[in-house]
Structure 1
Amino acid sequence: MPEILENEADLELYSPNPEVCGMTTLDRAAFKRTIVVPFIRVKKEVVSKLLKALKHTTLKRPGLKRVIDDPEDEDSRFVLLHPHKISADYSLGEKEQKILKQFNINSQVSKYNLELTYDNFKVEEILRSVLPKGQEVTSGFSRIGHIAHLNLRDHQQPYKHLIGQVIIDKSPGITCVVNKTNIIDNIYRNFQMEVLAGEANMIAKAKENHAAYEFDFSKVYWNSRLSSEHGRITELLKPGDILFDVFAGVGPFAIPAAKKKCSVFANDLNPESYKWLLHNCKLNKVDKNIKSFNMDGRDFLLGPLKEELTKELSLPTKERKNSVHIVMNLPALAIEFLDVFRHFLDGKPCSTELLPTVHCYSFSKHDNPAKDVQERAEAFLGTSLEGRSSTHLVRNVSPNKEMMCISFQIPAEVLYKQCTHEENPEEPASKRLRPNEDSPEEKLIS
């Protein structure tokens, strides 16, 4: 991210040539500008000590030299001063004059014409000078290996290719800049994108939580902002625990868990995600610890998960030493899958200590997102979670939208068939939305 300028005076001083305003095709030479800065002439042997003594007065700007050669005297140097640290009449303050006197330096301040080029400006400064005054400047981006991912606003669209090229110029290692062109509106959770600048290479490499990942960023879902959340869930697991990852993507929950010696069952509906999940399991040498599936989430819950959970919970209590965790990271819809667990298993309820723990993600636009998510989870489970769940704020998605994670052990009265089904768990939950509930289409976001 670009460094924030300290004040309006700096903003004006270090602005590119104002004639670049409105530029849509990058012309680096057009950004050249000459500014006038003060300097003092000093002997080269005292430069180092003087810079320390005048550290609050000298020019401080990344990429610009504070000391330059004196073209008329090889034994002297020009020490450049910050224009806003001296008076308007180019005279030094009393404190600075005393310092110069100690070094036997003439306190006369002269003017130096300093040329600034495109290379001397930061991303934010360049974009601010190009976009019309007062319009929002986008200089931040998500980085996925060599790819910079932007979410441009409508008013930035005419400048999109220039923005992309500037980011490549100013960001070492970035060779491709892409912009999202629609919301996530399909069952595979990926979005269409366009290449704004650089190579059209979508095969990304990323590292997260001591694991390496490779994938086609244009065909799978990956969000670098979820790194901390992936790590948080991994920290909850102990070696030998069982993890069911219902919407596994390319493996950011599953692979760290497998590296921690957990038994992992990972599923994703997207064939591309499944392909890269298998690839990443081998890449991280955990393919022996992960069983992977390419199924609809509901089918995975009613099939492999139910089968394995039945086996695990049927074991005598003394033989069960490990916990079972179920991760459901599809925040637009996952909470609607919780109805699957209603009367999920036959037999007698096991010890409450051994009941599986669910970590279910959801978006919320309510003033009290924790309460909202809990109430919606209760509606699909058919029971109260009061005092039996915890909610965690994952991240702020937008000014009025939060991503939350609700964690709870599935109550025994929900999990076991102690009464007749009130409804068919195989019926898509989206058909049983509560009154005033957003439709699945309205919930899908980027």
Structure 2
Amino acid sequence: MLRGSYLRLISLTILLIALPEEFAARDYEGYQLLEVIPKTESDVRTIANLPNALGEHLDFWKESRAIDQPTEIFLSPESKSRVVKYLKDNSIAEYRTKIENVGEIVQADALDTPRPPPSAARDEQVRPFDINSFDFNEYHSHAEINDYLKFVATNKSKFVDIKSMGISHEGRQMSYLKIGYPSNEPKNAFFVDAGIHAREWITPAVALHFINELVTNPELTVLLENIDVYVLPSVNPDGYEYSRNSERLWRKSRSGPRGAEGCYGVDPNRNFDFYWGYSGVSHDPCSEIYCGPEALSESECQHLTDFLLQHNDTIKAYVTLHSYGNLIIHPWGHKSNAVPDDVNDIIRVGTQMARVIREAGGPEFTVGTGPDILYEVSGSSQDFAKHVGIKYAYTMELTNTPTGFILPKSRIAHTAGHILPALFVVAEEVRNTDADNTHENIIN
């Protein structure tokens, strides 16, 4: 046992030495994940006010909006003592250290996932691709993901096309697949994306499982004769690659630097042009929830916006994959007690999604608006999709885990196994939706 641990430590040391200095991975040694459970409404408000009260940038992995729902806060050793003092001073007694040393988990994760130094130019190099050696239960690089998409489009060319949504800030292709048999008549479409937050590695992995099922399962032929499915596995490729090579828990895009401290990145899911900057955001460039200097400041968000506007006459459903929380979130997110006029249809489908997840052996998923079951957030891709006329728009916060965003790759297949049935519920709803269906997205 000791020998194995020693060899792993040597391997990690060699990995870090081999990387150029600018790509050396942050180790997060001594960082902890603190779980706090509010017992009163006053506790909920007190916990939410933590960043303002301490004047610090705190990284909330989960936020509570209700009594007995845990909040999870990622803390440096220095911040932990201040946060604990604040909790004690405000008579909040129910808290515990959920992860004693995040650095240990990150180091183990680094050994488990090979990562060459990042390069947008390297991403575009032509490499031999062997589908037999492509492991769907691995966290692949952006380049490997694009290689797989190219392979599928080449080998399933009768009903699969690969296209680029645009170029990221650092020059990476935002490749997506259009999956569906040609038709002389207009077809409804279903759009799925993943990876908008860099550290949520499970989401591109689930998107690849979804693609594989669509292109290899002959029972889906009838579905694909009737609808098209668009899949964009990585909305934020620059952030994703940065999280793979430098900071595993990086969340934002990679634009910048901005502000006096020269901070990088914008939260892409707060950068869309619908109630941008209204609520649940920060205007501080160093914040994890920085909404950007203006709506659509991020090229990745602009490209996705352009695509949705170009196809909003045919796209009837939009699902964006996030982690984590066991949640199916629907509009609107910018304020409490606001729902679209067709909310009953949206809840009906969301409830069916939760049911099939449970039937597939997954956990119980909660369905509701962000303010009701998570928190207020404005400028999200989900709300923008609904705003431009896409009837069904959901954010899926995938399965809770003991290690937060650092989900072992051994859990990829299990997670995909209960998420894919929910995606096919939406696909069938798209198939059965009137192609001429139009609606007003009224905010009630």
* Relative contact order higher in (CA < 8 Å, ≥ 6 apart): 2
| Bigger Cα Rg | 1
- TM norm structure 1: 0.20
Q: Going by fraction, where is strand more abundant, 1 or 2?
A: 1
- TM norm structure 2: 0.20
